[in-house]
Structure 1
Amino acid sequence: MPEAERRYPEPTDGLKNLVRPLTDLLVDRAGSSAPAFTFRDYAADREGTEVTLSWAELAEQVRAVAAELSKITSPGQRVAILAPQDLSYVTAFLGALHAGTIAVPLFAPEVSQHGGRLVGALADCAPEVWLTSSEALPAVRSLAEENPVPMPKQILAVDKLDPAGAGYTPPALSLDAPAYLQYTSGSTRAPAGAVITHRAVAENSNQAAVAFGVDDTWTCAGWIPFFHDMGLVQLLCVPVATGARSVFITPFNFIMRPVRWLRQLSDFPKVFAAAPNFAFEYATRKVSESDRAALDLSDVRAVINGSEPVRASTIAAFQEAFGPHGFPATSHRPSYGLAEATVFVTNTREEGPTVTAFDRLALGEHRGVIVARGTEGSIDLVAAGRPHGQLVRIVDPANGTLRTDGDVGEIWVHGPNVASGYWEQPERSAETFGGRIDGAAGIPGEGWLRTGDLGLFHDGLLYITGRIKDLIIIDGKNHYPQDIEATVEAAHPVIRRDHVAAFAVTTEDGREGAAVVAEFNRKAAPEGFDEKEVARAVRRAVSAAHDVKLRDVLVLPPGAVQRTSSGKVARAATKARHWEKADER
């Protein structure tokens, strides 16, 4: 049994029986005047204005939403959340859960490259009611009228509902009934709604709270969108589960001025936050020294770095920039999760980040060989931590047998936080959630979530090495696309960091190979650049580092590399968009 389970065992049956639906916990706090959710709004004031709901006010508004839903639909029906990232989203989502309906956390329609994802999700689950805010109501109505989606019975602006719902009696909620559908990013195929039960979200919120130490004296801060699994659980569900205060801003306001996120971390006590790796790099580059000087980050307790590959260089740069302003190095917490496990699977504990160098060639052969950092042919990987309250194993996906510690395989997960399947997709559900491990004593033989991610355990810590579907195989050798992408980024200063996609291709004569799409940085070459020179530099660098001859290198304007709704590089979508054109050249 790995170190992870020895130190963090499964909860006992007695503890499992204490799990309760989130809205039951909210009802318990209905008499509290303590602040529950605070939205920092920068729409009218550059410095921001705060709008806060106490637990009592939140409970009243949630009850009003649930009471209104009970007049229109019935428990078990889908209810879409199409609200902007403000307090209306919080009351809409919790109101749908309180009514016993199945919430579908999406986003308000706006100018976005992810509009197709929104339409696809609505068409897939056909919600009977759409919940939004009065501000977004016109756009939501236009969405219903102008797109091929099932027309809802009613569209409600939750901020205009009569709060008088005192006589409403909510239905009893079964822990094993669906609470919401978490639509996946859909980077390679149509999005699917992972069915998250009331038990799964309660368990995962508790797993995160115990693993990070969050309680009602903490502050959950951030900007990740509520329709994203990490934003929904970290900023909305964990606060309800623990009584911690949630303070949030919009993703747009983070992008416009990333210091706003750092001010959240500075202004509130015992902060628990989360962001993808790019956000740490972005904040390091964009927050000026004068803005940093006003920060006191000494009470930041834990900041998750996840959702995309975590870079050791990012951690070091962020610490160099914000360590002098109090940010504790051990508070940087690389973690791993996915929507199909509600979100949280493993996380770094109080020891902070662990970086280990592996031999690149050996990883391509599915072996984790440790070498000294800086060794030629090595790659630094950042540990994603340990599981808590769930089982994580490394499995040979071809035959369902366990891999030994130090060997690379597919990451499989088993626990009460795992989704029950995909909404009305039995074959896809069986493929993803029906993993079987044969011949292993002491663990369940079936019901394993096959994540599609590759990784290994070393010294009890999980290291993520890549995605099975993204693996580039040339002449029988495995190459991880993120490794090639990192080499491409460093090959020439004109290439835009974190905006490179490498993928496998097959030429007309049937040969295997790899190609790259890279965006250029306009600021690095304001007067233009020689595209052929950049391509030659990329080819040389990839050949030297990986012994791979690229079939093509496309250096294109910003926007060429496709991304999922959670910000990850969508390699398959980028390949579909650009490779045919490249092949015709």
Structure 2
Amino acid sequence: MSDDAQTPTPMPTPNDCDLPRRRSDFATFAEAIDYAARSEKGLNFHDMRGTLERVYPYSEMRADAMKAARQFAAMGIAKGDRVALVAETGAEFAALFCGCIYAGAWPVPLPLPTGFGGKEGYIEQLSVQLDSSDPKILIYPAEIAEMAGAAAERQGCEGQSWEDFSERPDPETDLPEADPQDICYLQYSSGSTRFPTGVAVTHEALLHNLYGHASGVNLGENDRVVSWLPWYHDMGLVGCFLSPIANQASVDYIRTEHFARRPLAWLDLISRNQGNTLSYSPTFGYDICARRISSQSNVAERLDLSRWRTAGNGADMIRPDVMQNFVNAFAGAGFRASAFTPSYGLAEATLAVTVMPPGEGIRVELVEEERLSGRPRDLSRPARYRAIVNCGRPLPGMEVEIRGEDDNPRGDHQIGKVWCRGKSVMHSYFRNEEATDDCLVANADGEVWLDTGDMGYMADGYLFIVGRAKDMIIINGKNHWPQDIEWAVEQLPGFNHGDIAAFSVETDNGEEAPAVLVHCRVSEPEERIKLRNQIADKVRGVTGMNCVVELVPPRSLPRTSSGKLSRAKAKKLYLSGEIQPLDLAA
């Protein structure tokens, strides 16, 4: 072969094959892996520019998983032991996760480092999660060996890189049989209900949720998944890794960090797909893409989004204005607004609780802000409204109720706490009985319901989410939603989605006041002062009160593993001095 010869481009796994489709109708996830391995489908990993790097058929993944299971058994890992895995998007994690399933161990996906918090912050985060899950071993990519190894040493478990673990012996051995009621994996919630408590999900709960979601979006022949979502978060792990296996769909991946640098590579992948595409993102992913393409005029030439039939949206509050901007930006490339598929879910319910029926798109209701916060209407001021997005109907086998402060069910359009019940609900928080009892509550009939911690209302069988109960700002007996404050400030020029965090603080005189942290990109002192005053005026118009406005450096506000703004952590870091406001006199 000449030096100029090029390596042939690998062929991606197909969208369709002769194996009959089964929608997650398996007793255990091990059975789902076995069945998927009989098809020609699989996982396809792409680089930052969308070039296909690794084709990983399910048959090959299963063979690697069986080897990993024998390796786990040889090192003494037994049924019910935990194996912590740093969830880098790639074949190594996929095989090890499934290897844990075959070995009867519980895989524990843990996050990769992010830009926020630095080296010591990441080591501390891993250490806390390792302490909670108490694994036998932590396995990680070699490039983060220093940090991951330090976290493993703090916790007292063994730590190894992918490469080193692959060299372990794998003698033939009998592997345990899984039962539907066995724990399948531990998922660390990114903030829904509690953090950092491990959500224990059984095989039955996982497959019940995967069946319900596949039915809700009508997953069918010739469908293919495209994803950039991280595998340490429930939407990425369950929706875009475990679901394609259990429903025998091929899937294309780019890594989350590559999406952050080149977001339009996500849409390029969708364009090249010759089947019907299912792809999901929180609101901010659609926002970033719309902003990146806004200065380009060749959208119709570059992209073909006409086969994107399910554009899932979840993981944070859905912004109808952002969704409209995405439609405006990409309608020329064939994107249809009806493809938007809002949903609601949380790790404590495995993944999805409700999903919009296919083709219904984004539907909103305008609700008076006073009704959202539960305070009486101020007739001296014009009525203010917030657009609340319809998050769809409960999945098959899932019940949803809205309950008041007395825990009694409420009627249509009455706002209260969102509760749900079904086989998809978690088994427990791992080794945290108190936290489990706080949110899993049995009624007089012995039915166990999950208190999600979210607020919303039902209307004609559809669920509308208005916010998190714990985020509510209560001042002088009046309730204010932080989203209303943040979205009002975002209307000022120069701000992006996620630039503002609102919460309450105690002022010098001992009274509570709203505080607003805002990413600031201007350097002139006079402009900063002008901006601060504009923000204060905007918040006063929403709340009727003076507020504390702090301008902070860009990228200062923390996010959860799913990319959601973490108001609780922002408040904690601000009060501890770890987020330092900019000097307006500089």
SS of structure 2 residue aligned to 1:488:
helix
Distance 2:63 2:139 in 1: 17
SS of structure 2 residue aligned to 1:336:
strand
Amino acid at match of 1:211: G
8 Å Cα contact 2:139/2:165 also seen in 1: no
Aligned pairs (5 A) from 1:333-352: 333-350=341-358, 351-352=360-361
Following superposition, the deviation at residue 131 of structure 1 comes to: 3.1
Amino acid at match of 2:232: F
Q: Deviations 1:534-563 (Å, cap 9, x if unpaired)?
A: 12211212222332321x100111133222
Amino acid at match of 2:61: L
Q: Determine the structure 2 residue equivalent to 1:502.
A: 502
- C-alpha change, 1:69 and 1:247, in structure 2 (3 Å) is same
SS of structure 2 residue aligned to 1:448:
strand
Alignment match of 1:553 (pick from 544, 549, 555): 549
Q: Determine the structure 1 residue equivalent to 2:511.
A: 511
- C-alpha change, 1:285 and 1:343, in structure 2 (3 Å) is same
8 Å Cα contact 2:28/2:207 also seen in 1: yes
8 Å Cα contact 1:336/1:347 also seen in 2: yes
Alignment match of 1:193 (pick from 185, 190, 198): 198
Following superposition, the deviation at residue 139 of structure 1 comes to: 2.8
Distance 2:372 2:429 in 1: 32
Following superposition, the deviation at residue 446 of structure 1 comes to: 3.5
Q: Determine the structure 2 residue equivalent to 1:12.
A: none
Following superposition, the deviation at residue 165 of structure 1 comes to: 7.0
Distance 1:82 1:312 in 2: 34
Distance 1:251 1:470 in 2: 27
Q: Deviations 1:59-115 (Å, cap 9, x if unpaired)?
A: 111111111111111111001112521121111111111211011011345765361
Q: TM-score, normalised by structure 1?
A: 0.87
Following superposition, the deviation at residue 35 of structure 1 comes to: 2.9
Q: Determine the structure 2 residue equivalent to 1:6.
A: none
Is 1:102 equivalent to 2:106 in the alignment? Answer: yes
8 Å Cα contact 1:188/1:573 also seen in 2: no
Percent identity reads 30
Is 1:203 equivalent to 2:200 in the alignment? Answer: no
Following superposition, the deviation at residue 17 of structure 1 comes to: 11
Following superposition, the deviation at residue 235 of structure 1 comes to: 1.3
Is 1:51 equivalent to 2:54 in the alignment? Answer: yes
Distance 1:289 1:400 in 2: 54
Q: Determine the structure 2 residue equivalent to 1:482.
A: 483
Q: Determine the structure 1 residue equivalent to 2:368.
A: 359
Distance 1:75 1:101 in 2: 5
Amino acid at match of 1:93: F
8 Å Cα contact 2:193/2:453 also seen in 1: no
- C-alpha change, 1:445 and 1:474, in structure 2 (3 Å) is farther
- C-alpha change, 1:405 and 1:37, in structure 2 (3 Å) is same
Aligned pairs (5 A) from 1:34-183: 34-42=40-48, 46-72=49-75, 73-108=77-112, 113=117, 115=122, 116-132=124-140, 136-137=141-142, 139-140=144-145, 143-145=148-150, 149-153=154-158, 155=160, 157=162, 161=166, 169-183=174-188
Distance 1:24 1:299 in 2: 31
Which range is displaced more, 112-121 or 348-357? Answer: 112-121
8 Å Cα contact 1:85/1:225 also seen in 2: yes
Q: Determine the structure 2 residue equivalent to 1:540.
A: 537
Q: Determine the structure 2 residue equivalent to 1:8.
A: none
- C-alpha change, 1:148 and 1:189, in structure 2 (3 Å) is farther
Alignment match of 2:189 (pick from 167, 184, 189): 184
- C-alpha change, 1:529 and 1:167, in structure 2 (3 Å) is farther
Following superposition, the deviation at residue 294 of structure 1 comes to: 1.8
- C-alpha change, 1:576 and 1:167, in structure 2 (3 Å) is closer
Following superposition, the deviation at residue 528 of structure 1 comes to: 6.4
Distance 1:274 1:508 in 2: 45
Amino acid at match of 2:84: A
Q: Determine the structure 1 residue equivalent to 2:231.
A: 226
Q: Determine the structure 1 residue equivalent to 2:422.
A: 415
SS of structure 2 residue aligned to 1:502:
strand
Is 1:260 equivalent to 2:265 in the alignment? Answer: yes
8 Å Cα contact 2:188/2:199 also seen in 1: yes
Which range is displaced more, 19-28 or 461-470? Answer: 19-28
RMSD: 2.8
8 Å Cα contact 1:187/1:570 also seen in 2: no
Aligned pairs (5 A) from 1:430-469: 430-434=437-441, 436=443, 446-469=447-470
- C-alpha change, 1:547 and 1:124, in structure 2 (3 Å) is same
User: Which stretches in structure 1 are left out of the alignment for 5+ residues?
Assistant: 1-14, 369-374, 439-443
Q: Deviations 1:163-212 (Å, cap 9, x if unpaired)?
A: 99795543210111111110122589751000011111111111111100
Distance 1:112 1:361 in 2: 36
SS of structure 2 residue aligned to 1:92:
helix
Following superposition, the deviation at residue 499 of structure 1 comes to: 1.5
Q: TM-score, normalised by structure 2?
A: 0.87
8 Å Cα contact 1:82/1:105 also seen in 2: yes
Alignment match of 2:278 (pick from 250, 272, 276): 272
Q: Deviations 1:213-245 (Å, cap 9, x if unpaired)?
A: 113531111111000010001111111111011
8 Å Cα contact 2:23/2:246 also seen in 1: no
Following superposition, the deviation at residue 531 of structure 1 comes to: 2.2
Distance 1:80 1:336 in 2: 27
- C-alpha change, 1:138 and 1:312, in structure 2 (3 Å) is closer
Q: Determine the structure 1 residue equivalent to 2:37.
A: 30
8 Å Cα contact 1:63/1:165 also seen in 2: no
Distance 1:554 1:292 in 2: 42
8 Å Cα contact 1:230/1:343 also seen in 2: yes
Q: Determine the structure 2 residue equivalent to 1:386.
A: 393
Amino acid at match of 1:306: G
How many residue pairs are counted as aligned between the two chains? 545
- C-alpha change, 1:429 and 1:360, in structure 2 (3 Å) is same
8 Å Cα contact 1:64/1:162 also seen in 2: no
SS of structure 2 residue aligned to 1:434:
strand
User: Which stretches in structure 2 are left out of the alignment for 5+ residues?
Assistant: 1-21
Amino acid at match of 2:314: G
Which range is displaced more, 159-168 or 273-282? Answer: 159-168
SS of structure 2 residue aligned to 1:402:
coil
Alignment match of 1:286 (pick from 283, 289, 292): 292
Amino acid at match of 2:558: Q
8 Å Cα contact 1:472/1:479 also seen in 2: yes
Amino acid at match of 1:501: A
Amino acid at match of 1:225: P
